[in-house]
Amino acid sequence: MTDSLPTSVELLVVGGGINGLAITRDAAARGLDVLLIERDDLGAETSNWSSRMIHGGLRYLEQLDLALVHESLRERETLFQRAPHLVKPMDLVIPVFEDSTRNRVVITAGMVLYDLLSWRKSVSWFRPMSRRATIAKVPGLRRQGLKGAVRYTDGQVELSERLCVELALDAIRLGARVVTHRSVTGLENASDGVRAMLSDGSKVTASVVVNAAGPWVDEVLGGSGRRLIGGTRGSHIALARFEGAPTKTVHFETEDGKPLLVIPWRGVLLIGSTDHLDDSPDRKPAVSPEERALLVRQVNRLFPAARITEDDILFEYCGVRPLPYVEGKAATAITRRHYLHAHSEFNNQVISVIGGKLTTHRSLAEEAVNAVQQRLGPVTPCATTLLPFPGATTPTRVEHELAAWADLGVAPEVAQSVVDRYGALSASVRSVVAEDKALAEPIDDAFVRGEVVHAVHRELAGSLADVVLRRMVVRFDLVSEDLVDEVVKTLVEHCGWDDTRVAADRAELIAALTRVGVHTLTAATKE
């Protein structure tokens, strides 16, 4: 995990979101000399703003894209098996009302097809529910016009941040180099490949470049050629649990038939996602007043007793789906299928990734690395279908880890929190603590100081926001002054960070929290 860069590599991957990381891991597993450059942090943008679902995509059935549904369901099952600590089955309920645009016959037919496309799955098949059973399962649901529901199972990745981190760690284990907080500022043809200019003035020549920058694909290319990325914005709000709130995810539709979800997530409810064409100049949009009002209104429409107002929103976020640019097409009509675009102006040695999502990152990477190897030599078999994530664990291993943390004097609830987040990698955090028992001290009753040191020394965290938001994965609204002060203290005492760096990083963290509507921190660090 070094920031030193080679002058030449076989493959340069631009972008450290879920797709770029998966491509890097796959390439390294096949023995390629690969370098990934990410201008921010691992998974800091598009991968961080999703509904955190691993799913087949019921909406794709309506577009008759059966191949995409099948691919997504196959990849969902692979993640259930290879990352069971992060990707877990999630029950969903689709209520059917008298005024629903899709009646029970249509929904049932869709669910039959959905299940048939994943017939080898390890989770249960769909079940129809009567009106009475629906009310019993979701008591707060609107009863006027309620006819019943359908219950089915998909997947959830509560900590998509950790999914990205583990892809990076595994890629490094396999021989890749991953560099964050450095950007590619331009590409040019060279006699031996494609030369990339970096923000620090250095240059790297690659035989092949994969542009996996998501919404910034066109920016990496310098705006040359035709526009590739259009993109749609997706917004979510988070609410505290209210009386009658569901314990299962509710998949419902707005008055005009558009899908929305109410998702129980880490003690709160995520409501989303919207789907509108994106026109934000920096590809970092904020939730619009219209979207905020829509999401609040839909919660109250579905759960009349909730009486939610915008003042009840704990935090909110908005991201851009890196979908293809299609002029004159509605956001909901743009395909969710990914594709690869080879650039003739770079002798087809630059390949841009258009589209992609959390669920299909592995299969997208397999396709991309196949394309890379076609340019470099023979295509070798992909190994990632059978490759477990670094934190993949078992119940027996979990029990062992909890006992080992107890031996270090860590309270059971804190140990459980650590093991839940890191899986088998909790042993790596524990080894840091074993070297300095002071790092076993808890932070905010859910974390230990050792996680801070582990994030910097073993997980490529380069800023305070990296540590707090994407390694420890503190929920946005729970980032307190006291927690941040304890993290900063650990960074200063054990990682050698100075006051100047801490002050700059604190400002960056405040900006990140402000972006999601959280205003819990002040600019000055406590003495």
Nearest Cα neighbor of 283 from 222, 216, 183 is 216
Tell me what pLDDT residue 3 has: 57
Question: pLDDT digits over 347-400, tens only?
Answer: 999 999 999 999 999 999 999 999 999 999 999 999 999 999 999 999 999 999
- Residue 421: inside a domain, yes or no? yes
Tell me what pLDDT residue 382 has: 97
Q: Which residues contact 333 (CB under 8 A, 6 or more apart)?
A: 63
Q: Is the pLDDT of residue 4 over 80?
A: no
Contact at 8 Å (CB) between 189 and 346?
A: yes
| Rounded average pLDDT over 489-517 | 96
| Rounded average pLDDT over 44-57 | 94
143 vs 13, 259, 297, CA distance in Å? Answer: 51, 19, 17
Q: Residue 526's pLDDT band (boundaries 50, 70, 90)? A: very low
| Same domain, residue pair 42 and 175 | yes
For 101, the token pair is 């645009």
| Same domain, residue pair 355 and 482 | no
Tell me what pLDDT residue 453 has: 98
Q: How many angstroms separate the CA atoms of 426 and 393, rounded?
A: 10
Q: Is the pLDDT of residue 460 over 80?
A: yes
Tell me what pLDDT residue 61 has: 82
Tell me what pLDDT residue 283 has: 87
For 61, the token pair is 């059935």
Tell me what pLDDT residue 300 has: 96
| Same domain, residue pair 245 and 112 | yes
Tell me what pLDDT residue 58 has: 85
Tell me what pLDDT residue 422 has: 98
| Same domain, residue pair 425 and 487 | yes
- Residue 22: inside a domain, yes or no? yes
* Sign of the torsion angle spanned by Cα atoms 231, 237, 238, 242: negative
For 106, the token pair is 């249509």
Share of the chain above pLDDT 70, in %: 98
Q: Is the pLDDT of residue 225 over 90?
A: no
Which helix (H) or strand (E) segment is 313 a member of?
Answer: strand 313-321
Go through 393-429 and write b for each residue having 16 or more CB atoms within 10 A of its CB, e for each that does not.
Answer: beeebbeebbebbeeeebeeebbbbbbebbbbbbbbb
Task: Note down the domain range covering 379.
Answer: 8-47+161-229+334-386
| Same domain, residue pair 275 and 141 | yes
For 213, the token pair is 């920058």
Contact at 8 Å (CB) between 232 and 334?
A: yes
| Same domain, residue pair 32 and 174 | yes
| Rounded average pLDDT over 258-271 | 96
Tell me what pLDDT residue 310 has: 97
CA angle, 407 as apex, 402 and 408 as ends, to 5°?
A: 100
| Rounded average pLDDT over 49-65 | 88
Q: Is the pLDDT of residue 527 over 60?
A: no
The residue out of 300, 321, 342 marking a domain boundary is 321
- Residue 64: inside a domain, yes or no? no
Lowest mean pLDDT, pick from 188-197, 278-287, 379-388, 412-421: 278-287
Question: pLDDT digits over 136-182, tens only?
Answer: 999 999 999 999 999 999 999 999 999 999 999 999 999 999 999 99
- Residue 522: inside a domain, yes or no? no
The residue out of 345, 367, 386 marking a domain boundary is 386
| Number of CB atoms found within 10 A of residue 63's CB | 16
Lowest mean pLDDT, pick from 124-128, 422-426, 476-480: 124-128
For 374, the token pair is 């076609």
Residues in the chain: 527
Q: Is the pLDDT of residue 224 over 80?
A: no
| Rounded average pLDDT over 28-46 | 97
For 435, the token pair is 């070297």
* Exposed/middle/buried for residue 523 (C-beta within 10 Å: 0-12, 13-18, 19+): exposed
How many domains does the chain contain in total? 3
Tell me the three state secondary structure of residue 513: helix
For 349, the token pair is 């040695």
- Residue 379: inside a domain, yes or no? yes
| Same domain, residue pair 415 and 502 | yes
- Residue 181: inside a domain, yes or no? yes
The residue out of 287, 321, 355 marking a domain boundary is 321
CATH number assigned to the domain comprising residue 440:
1.10.8
| Same domain, residue pair 497 and 411 | yes
CATH number assigned to the domain comprising residue 144:
3.30.9.10
What DSSP string describes 223-266? T-SS--B--EEEEEEEEE--TT--SSEEEEE-TTS-EEEEEEET
Contact at 8 Å (CB) between 188 and 195?
A: yes
| Same domain, residue pair 379 and 501 | no
Tell me what pLDDT residue 165 has: 98
Contact at 8 Å (CB) between 418 and 162?
A: no
Contact at 8 Å (CB) between 425 and 390?
A: yes
Q: How many angstroms separate the CA atoms of 205 and 187, rounded?
A: 9
Tell me what pLDDT residue 1 has: 41
Nearest Cα neighbor of 153 from 80, 104, 61 is 80
| Same domain, residue pair 473 and 414 | yes
CATH number assigned to the domain comprising residue 16:
3.50.50.60
Tell me the three state secondary structure of residue 430: helix
Q: Residue 524's pLDDT band (boundaries 50, 70, 90)? A: low
Nearest Cα neighbor of 115 from 71, 70, 148 is 70
Tell me the three state secondary structure of residue 360: coil
| Same domain, residue pair 113 and 249 | yes
- Residue 62: inside a domain, yes or no? no
| Rounded average pLDDT over 91-118 | 91
- Residue 247: inside a domain, yes or no? yes
* Exposed/middle/buried for residue 104 (C-beta within 10 Å: 0-12, 13-18, 19+): middle
Lowest mean pLDDT, pick from 202-211, 280-289, 398-407, 486-495: 280-289
| Average pLDDT of every residue of the chain | 94
Q: How many angstroms separate the CA atoms of 267 and 457, rounded?
A: 30
Q: How many angstroms separate the CA atoms of 113 and 111, rounded?
A: 5
Q: Residue 226's pLDDT band (boundaries 50, 70, 90)? A: confident
| Same domain, residue pair 431 and 485 | yes
Tell me what pLDDT residue 120 has: 83
Q: How many angstroms separate the CA atoms of 391 and 162, rounded?
A: 9
Lowest mean pLDDT, pick from 42-46, 57-61, 348-352, 442-446: 57-61
Q: How many angstroms separate the CA atoms of 95 and 412, rounded?
A: 39
Q: How many angstroms separate the CA atoms of 473 and 44, rounded?
A: 12
53 vs 19, 57, 73, 436, CA distance in Å? Answer: 16, 10, 12, 38
For 451, the token pair is 């996680």
Q: What one-character DSSP code corresponds to residue 472?
A: S
